[in-house]
Structure 1
Amino acid sequence: MTGTQKADDRGQLRRRTVLAAGGVTVTAVGVGGAFTATASAGEETAGADACYKLTSETTEGPYYIDADKIRRDVTEDREGIPLLLALRVIDNETCRPIRDAAVDIWHCDAVGVYSGYEDMGNGGGGGGGPAPTESPTGTPTDAPTGPPPGGGGGHQEPTDDTRYLRGTWRTDRHGRVAFRTVFPGWYRGRTVHIHVKVHVDGAWTDAGYEGGNTCHTGQFFFSEESVLASAEVEPYSTSTTTRTTLTEDTIYDQSGTAGGLLKLKYDKKHIAKGVVGSITMGVDPDAENDNTTM
C-alpha cells in the first residue's frame, strides 16, 4: 500500500505542495564552513538519544506560511548568534528513524519579528530604543502587543514577501535533518521558541514536496541560562520588550525533552560564537496533527 493510499483510507490526506525557490532541486548539501563540523557533532548527539515517548504537540500559531523555501540555511540577512539546529525524527512506537519526511521550521528574528509579518512588529518597535540596563526577566506587566501571546489567535495572512528564518528540508535515512539559522529573540507574551512541522507520506520531486499529511506540529524551547546569555549580545541586547520566562510560558508543558526542550552546546563565556541545539522527536506517522486551532 502506498503512502497516498494509506492516507486516503484514513480520510486524512491533506494536499500540500512546497515549491523550491529558484529551481533548487532537493539534494543533500553541506551547511558550509566551520559550521559543518559542529553540525555533525550535534547530529551525533541527537542520534545517541534513547527512544522517546510522543513529543508534545503544540499550537501552530498565527504565522505559519506553507509553500516555503526548500533549504537548510534559513538565515538570509538576519543578524544574531549562529544556531545549528540538529533534529532527528523517529517513530515513537517502533523507535525507527523516519526517512524522507519534510520538516518545516520557522521562528522570529533576534528582535522578535517574524518574516512575512513585519507589519505586526514585536511589541518593541523592531528592537529600537535604548538598551536595557539589566537582563530581561519577570512577568509582563502590561497588555501584550505584536504577535498574539501564547502563539494563538488563529492563522493570519502574510503582510509582506519576506521569508527569512523559514525553511523546509528532508530527513535522511537516519531520520536526521539540520538547519542553519540564528538564535531566536523574544516578543511579549511568549518565551523564546522555534516552530516545527513534520510531514510524511508525501513525494519529493524536483519542484519540492507534494502531498502527504502533517503528523507533528510542535515547538522547540531554550534553557533560561542560554536566553539570558544571548540577552548580553547585540542585537538581542537592544530589545526593550519584556520577556516571558520558560516557566511562565503558556505553551511549554515543562516536561523537558518530551516537551520540546533542546539540548544546547555552546561556550558559556562566548555564546556569540554559536550554539548547537539538538533533539530527537518521537512522532506518530499515522497521525494528523495540524494544530491550527489549539
Structure 2
Amino acid sequence: MPLFEAPSRQVTAEYWSGAEAAGTARLHRGLRFVAGTFTDPLTEDRGVLVEYAEPPALAAPEALNSLVLDVAADGGVPRGQAQLRAPATAVLPPPWRPTLTYVRLVRALPEVPLDHGTAIVPAGPEHRAAVTEWLERAVRQGAHDAGLEPGGEAVREAAAETLADPGLRSLVAVRDGIALGHAVVRTGAVDAVTGEDFVELWDVLVEPSVPGAGTVRNALTGAAAELARNAGLPLIGHVVHGRGEHGTRVLATLRDHGWQSDHVYWKAELAELGAAS
C-alpha cells in the first residue's frame, strides 16, 4: 500500500493567478506556460525557467523551444541555460536533457538495526561545525554534478542560507561521541505548482571511511522518513543527474527501495535551442 500517491499535475488556481500577477503566465501558440528569467544563486548566471508547461506543450518541442527563446529575448538573456519542470512521465528530445529528478517515498522503509554504540540523535550545538561542513560539501558536489563550479564564498552562503531555514531539522548519526553523518530535512515545504505540503530530504551523507557507512546511511534515511510520517506528510528527495549515467543508476536503485519519480527538471543551452528551431 503506497504511503502517499503523487498528486494531480494540475496547477492550483492560486498558482496560476499568482503567475498572472507576476507576469510569468504566458499563452504561446495556444499553449499555457509559466515562464520567466532567473539568476542562479551560485554562479549569478542568468537563464530562463519554464516552471509549468501544460501537457500538450511537452509533446510539441518546437512550441516549447520557441517559447523559451521568446522569454530569453524579452528578458535580455542572449545566452545561458533554459530549465524546465516536467512530470516524471515526460520525455523530451535533444537538446533537452534531465538534470534533477525529485523522488517521493511511496513504501515504508524497513527498520535498520544499528550496532551497539551507534545512535541517531537531533543535531545539537556540538554538531554544528560538522553539519555546516557536510552541507557545504553537498552544495559543492551538487553544483559540480550539474556542471557548475561556484566559488567558495557562494558555497558557504548557500549552506548558511539552508541552515537558517526555520523549518530545517538535522539528524546526526553518532558512535562513541563521534559524528558519522547526517540527514537534513526541511519541514513545512510546499510545492508551489501543485500546492502540496511535504517534507524535503535535502541531504543524506555519511563519511565514506565509517565502518558500515551504507547501513548508517539507510538508518538516517529511515529516521527522516519517520519524521515525515509523524507529520503526516510525504518525504521527497532529489537526484542530480550530472555527467554520465550515474543519476540513472541511482534512480533505478531508489525505485527498488520504495521511491517513485515525482517530477524532473530538464535543461538546454539557449544556443542549442536556437540551432534546433
Richer in helix (by share) = 2
Which one has a bigger Cα radius of gyration?
2
Structure with the larger RCO, 1 or 2 (CA within 8 Å, 6+ apart): 1
Richer in strand (by share) = 2
**TM-score normalised according to structure 2 size:** 0.28
**TM-score normalised according to structure 1 size:** 0.27
